[in-house]
Chain A
Amino acid sequence: MDFLIALLNNSDALLHSTLVAATPLLFAALGETFVQRAGIINIGLEGILLTGAFAGMTASYFSGSPLLGLIVGAVSGLLLALLFAGLTVGLSADQIVVGVGLNLLAAGLTGVLYRGIFGVTGQALQVSTFLPIHIPFFSTLPILGSSLFQHAGLVYLAITLVPICTFFLFYLRAGLQLQAVGEHPHAAETLGISVKRVRFLALAFEGVLGGIAGSYLSLAYSNTFIEGMSAGRGFIALAIVIFGRWNPTGALWGALFFGVATALQFHLQALGSELPYQIVLMLPYVLTLLALMLLKTSATAPAALGQPYHRE
């Protein structure tokens, strides 16, 4: 019980680290939500995150500007996503295969380039990173001030994107076209929507967001690059998309849910809890499985998810 009380006393820190951990997941999940709404499943998201983390860190290291790092990270994510799009949308190659290839490529390339550029050193590199922005007035509020309003700018950007994405998906013509492409590509094509163009654009959007998510990892989360540092976050984002039932708001809740688990793990360890931290980390996956089991999500999944489209 003692650690529960300690945890409550630390609730502002817990809330703070929840948001920090949820942000990259939210970026990635929002991108994947759009992609899956367009009928594509991209398990190469993990590779996009890892590439973004590496490119962002490298650019920031050599230029001293985290903003330039962020842009380079986003562009690298875009390039990988376009490679995916060219193969799966352009040539109708299998989405799972290309996704796996992308993950292998990212793991290998970032490893080779990192060792090639920085050598194998014992010490982790330090790069210039995003400093927390204190929002005037709000950041001085008790408890909530320090936990909600003292973050890197990207955290606010991620949260702002949620209503924007919702509005785009459900109220704009382009968003409805995107949904039509994922539900019934042939009907969409008959209505004069170019399925291939919509899917390309959705993937490009995901690439940029995935690259930003990766850069966030190396430029705001841990200030360095470690091989394989995306640590499965791309796969978690896939779970979040389904958990959030293909809605941006749902993605926000899913990201916070996984964020809490990550934050809890650190705090439980720090407070010397008896509960093994692996169990805490395992929980979101088990709960996602249970949610999938109970929610009957198949009804809400885009009907053409994962199927290549051939024009007739």
Chain B
Amino acid sequence: MVTVQLTALISPLLALASAAIVIACGLWLTGADVPSVFVNLWLGAAGDSYRLSETAVKACPLLFTGLAVMLALRAGVWNIGAEGQLLLGALATAWVGQHLTFIPSPLAVAIVVAASLSAGVFWAGCAAYLKQKHNVNEVISTIMLNFVALYLVSYGVHGPLMEVAGQYPQTDPLPPTATLPRLFPPARFHLGILFALVAALIVWIFLFRTKAGFRIRATGANPIAARFAGIATDRQVALAFLLSGALAGLAGGIEVSGITHRVYEKFSPGYGYTAIAVALVGQRSPIGVVFAALFFGALDAGASAVQRTIGLSSVLASVIQAVVVLFLAAYSTATVQRFIHRTSTRLIVPLLLCWFVLLPSLT
């Protein structure tokens, strides 16, 4: 039991360390000043309170969508559709928000948040319905639905939801009453980030402290055993999918209400796809997902700082994310896990000790 938990902790750490080494080698080959890239990444993500706030801002949609993917994964299904659910949630927020000019603030916020949640549930519900009634693989149906959502947003911002000024393909901004307040202006840290943390807590309580959560976990862990134990696994899968859609929809609604205040084409830089990586790096646990989302958010915030200071492209963040994901995929396989098990006590633990104890004392 102890060794299992040890490897669960060691795999992501090893993936991070390996990714750092590979990225450093790649940068070195291209002739970049490797230490200064890493220092600037760090400063850009956590250099001062404003940068810290930016990290949290970037992490917020990733935390919601990461929780969404993780929750579905706990029931044994992939929700590749977090992107589409997020887009639809955002669109619903912009659409409903426009009509809320005369409604007082907390109520208006509650309404737009509820709208985004319902939109996400609806979009995930389409995939769940197709899976239940027509046995359509959810990976394929959600990818299709992502594209439909993308074109719905495009249609909306070019057509019926286009701003009144009619200049750019974007919606009008939400009325101030429907936007989430910033807690430490001028930093963009908004109330929605706290909502995201609360959501992580609620998901944790749901999964590990309620019967419904247990049934979902049992379904994902071993569907055949769960069915023998009298759990209606189909229903658990559908439930997990709808909850997953709710979280992904919220991601879109809170991003609009907290940061962008409007919807435009290419509103999401692929949050729903990065979410898959977030859920995995987070080891499929709500607490893990919080840290993974912060890490990915920090990478995004740090990479844009690196672009400004060193001129290295900000897409560097997705290279780092990709390398981490690929290493993690390799490290979580049985073959490599066995190898880690055998060597962990002899080799890896001393190595980690060296890293954390000896290295700082040397420098």
Contacts and interface: CB of A to CB of B under 8 A. Distances in A.
Interface of A: 41, 43, 83, 87, 91-94, 96-98, 100-105, 107-109, 111-112, 115-116, 227, 232, 235-236, 238-239, 242, 276, 278-279, 281-282, 285-286, 288-289, 292-294, 296-298, 301, 306
A289 B321 contact: no
Nearest to A91: B333
A210 B312 CA distance: 29
A278 B273 CA distance: 22
Interface residues of B, number: 50
Q: Is chain A's binding surface mostly helix, strand, loop or mixed?
A: helix
Contact of A107 (B136, B145, B159, B315): B315
Contacts of B336: 91
A111 B313 contact: yes
B321 A282 contact: no
A285 B326 contact: no
Contact of B151 (A102, A281, A288): A281
Contacts of B143: 43, 235, 238-239
Contacts, number: 143
A97, A102, A306, most chain B CB atoms within 10 A: A97
A119 to B, nearest CB: 10
Contacts of B164: none
Given A238-B143, A278-B151, A278-B159, 14 more contacts: A43-B139, A87-B326, A100-B277, A104-B277, A104-B322, A107-B322, A108-B315, A108-B321, A108-B322, A112-B315, A227-B315, A278-B154, A282-B147, A292-B134
B167 interface: no
B147 A100 contact: no
A91 B145 contact: no
B325 A235 contact: no
B330 A87 contact: yes
Contacts of B137: 298, 301
Interface string B31-43: 0000000000000
Contacts of A276: 155, 158-159
A156 B302 CA distance: 47
Contact of B80 (A96, A286, A289): A96
A93 B330 contact: yes
A298 B135 contact: yes
B316 A288 contact: no
B313 A115 contact: yes
B147 A292 contact: no
A100 B273 CA distance: 7
A115 B318 CA distance: 14
A112 B315 CA distance: 6
Given A112-B313, A285-B148, A96 B135 contact: no
Contacts of A239: 140, 143-144
A90 B294 CA distance: 32
B326 A289 contact: no
A232 B155 contact: no
A279 B155 contact: yes
B276 interface: yes
Nearest to B336: A91
A145 to B, nearest CB: 34
Interface string B317-333: 11111110110111011
Contacts of B333: 91-93
Given A97-B329, A276-B158, A292-B140, A92 B318 contact: no
A98 B326 contact: yes
B276 A282 contact: no
B259 to A, nearest CB: 22
A207 B134 CA distance: 32
Contacts of B159: 276, 278
Given A103-B273, A105-B323, A282-B148, A97 B140 contact: no
A101 to B, nearest CB: 4
B152 interface: yes
A108 B317 contact: yes
Contacts of A301: 137
A302 B321 CA distance: 32
A43 B18 CA distance: 24
A282 B152 contact: yes
